Amino acid sequence: MNAMTGLLDVLMQRHQELWQLFVEHMQMTSSAVLLSLIVGVPLGIAITGSRRCAAVVLGLANITQAIPSLGLLAVLVPIVGIGQPAAVIMVIVYALLPIIKNTYVGMNGIDPTVLKAARGIGMSDGQILAHIRLPLAVPYIMGGVRISAVTAVGTVTIGAFAGAGGLGWMINLGLNANDVNLVLLGAIPACLLALALDFVLGVVERALTPEGTKPVEKIRRMGRRERLVRYTAAGLAAVLVLVAPAASSLASVVHRDASGTVVVGGENFTEALILGNIYSQMIQRHTDLTVDEKFNLDGTLVTMSALESGKIDMFTDYTGVIAPNILKLGMSTDTDEVYRQVHDGMAQSYDAKVSKPIGFSNTYVLAVTKRTSRELGITSLSQLVAHAGELRLGCTTAFTQREDLLPKMEKNLGVSFASVEGLEGNIRYQALGSGKVDVVDAYETDAMLEKMDLVPLKDDIGFFPPYQAVSIARKAILSEHPELADVLSKLDGAITTDQMRAMNYQVDVGGRTPRDVAIEFLNKEGLI
């Protein structure tokens, strides 16, 4: 009962946001399925007469199913940019196979004697296709469309990692905050949407299926008027679930006015969402510019790609991330030196301006439970090194792969953990809480450190590089709108580490929205 009450409370708080995300999800799903239908059915028809072509086309379509969705999205972003276009193309890739294959099977499953009789009475290939092949293949084709539609609803959630919005945004918020209510708030409407689409498309399928192909007991005699009503109803249903949402999505893209607009980007974790909202609110309150928010982008590489292509104008990141991952620089533990390298390197290589530090540092820390700290006497990194062989590490894959993190720890400090498990997001905290691992990597401002009452180990040997938070903006947008520079500079040194951790806590533990927390902070500090 408490779980249901919690879900209803979250629904009441976020119902407007949920409706907007649901509409976005419907738009992307419908666009992808409609375009897949337009491409897939003709392609399925085209390969009907050639087994060799069919083998090639179906083989390629099968191969696309094995492409990891996030990998495909990462490839598409530099080409088509962030937002709905990348998400729709990704979904089309996965939605094509059922439509092509079912069209091909349906067209080839017709009794050859029927086709021979049609040719015998003088019907052309076009007439045979329109009056015999397609009507008889309708159940197969619609079966493929229904499979594609249901699959698309689930796949579209991945599009949130490219700033496409949709219900995946809500699910990602829940994963970041370890909040099952937010996950359910995104997942349940997605399931209901899939069921609704399948039901409506089933109605369309029954309306389009010729009576003569049904079992004798299900055949109905219909007059011309009744048949017209039936086809009209099917057409309206198709327009409702496919054409109308796709058209509204296209219209919003075509009529979007980019003049006087600043696009603020943000990555897919709580802190980035809060900072994105802080900058968005500052720009809206202190200028006449419109802000287009493109949040929930999948990491620094995707965000930088969007900045390079002009799809976003600014975002926030950390000097310790930009230096090795974007500028490919060797990492130093000198805070001032790393900042200088990032500031100069981004200007020279990407024509981007790096702000002064926002004020807080979000450097890496290793954390253990209070019980582990007490039993082994571990409160610092140097003490951890001595006990590493007894401990199981659960960390992000980035921590295992980056040369300045675990590899450097193993090479320079001789550290060898009992085991190393790659765990993303809050899953590593869950593993620590359940005793599956003993040590996790974390960031200095992580709210989960406070929520789980963990002990962050003091870096007494100066091992981890500095991670000063900075904003990065295209110089072109600063030249186009000079007033932006003054607004952005108001946040230089404005946020302390304790303040950032407290804001993260309010979102991840308190269940508040990043926007509300950002506005409250700005009001409290007199910045808006």
**Strand order across the 314-318 sheet:** 290-297, 261-267, 314-318, 469-474, 352-354
Instruction: Provide DSSP, 431-481.
Output: HHHTTS-SEEEEETT-HHHHHTT-EEPB-TT--SPP-BEEEEEEHHHHHH-
pLDDT at 250: 64
End-to-end CA distance of the chain: 41
pLDDT at 220: 66
DSSP 495: -
Q: Give whole-number Cα distances, 409 to 249, 362, 412, 416, 421, in Å.
A: 49, 19, 6, 9, 16
CA distance 344 to 350: 10
* One-letter identity of residue 381: L
Spatial CA neighbour of 155 closest among 36, 58, 303, 293: 36
Q: Give whole-number Cα distances, 433 to 130, 378, 426, 430, 455, in Å.
A: 63, 18, 11, 5, 13
Q: Give whole-number Cα distances, 396 to 102, 405, 420, 423, in Å.
A: 41, 11, 10, 5
CA distance 210 to 213: 6
Ordered domains of the chain (ranges, CATH): 17-254 (1.10.3720.10), 261-361+472-525 (3.40.190.10), 364-456 (3.40.190.120)
- What's the whole-model pTM score? 0.75
pLDDT at 227: 67
Q: Token digits for 68?
A: 């990891």
User: Chain-centre distance of CA 459, in angstroms?
Assistant: 34
434 class by beta-carbon count within 10 Å (0-12 exposed, 13-18 middle, 19+ buried):
exposed
CA distance 516 to 17: 13
pLDDT at 206: 81
CB-CB contact of 297 with 273 (8 Å):
no
pLDDT at 152: 93
pLDDT at 499: 94
Spatial CA neighbour of 136 closest among 106, 112, 180: 106
Residues 6+ apart with CB under 8 A from 181: 3, 6, 7, 9, 10, 174, 511
pLDDT at 493: 93
Residues 6+ apart with CB under 8 A from 235: none
Please name the helix (run of DSSP H) or strand (run of DSSP E) that holds residue 185, with its range, or none: helix 180-208
Strand 439-443 relative to strand 419-422, pairing: unpaired
What are 52-56's contacts with CB under 8 Å, separation 24+? Answer: 54/104
pLDDT per residue, tens digit, the chain (528 aa), is 566 777 787 788 788 888 889 988 998 998 899 899 999 999 999 998 788 898 999 999 889 888 888 888 878 877 887 788 888 999 999 999 999 999 999 888 888 888 888 888 888 888 888 888 888 888 899 999 999 999 999 999 988 888 888 898 888 878 776 678 888 889 999 999 999 889 888 888 887 777 666 665 566 666 667 667 777 777 777 777 777 676 666 665 555 555 678 999 998 888 999 999 999 999 999 998 999 888 888 778 888 888 988 889 999 999 988 998 899 888 777 889 999 999 999 999 999 999 999 999 888 899 999 999 999 999 999 999 989 999 999 998 878 887 778 888 998 888 899 999 988 777 888 899 899 999 999 988 988 888 888 999 999 998 888 899 999 999 999 999 999 999 999 999 999 998 999 999 998 888 788 999 999 999 999 998
Residues 6+ apart with CB under 8 A from 218: none
Residues 6+ apart with CB under 8 A from 526: none
Residues 6+ apart with CB under 8 A from 455: 367, 368, 369, 370, 372, 373, 378, 379
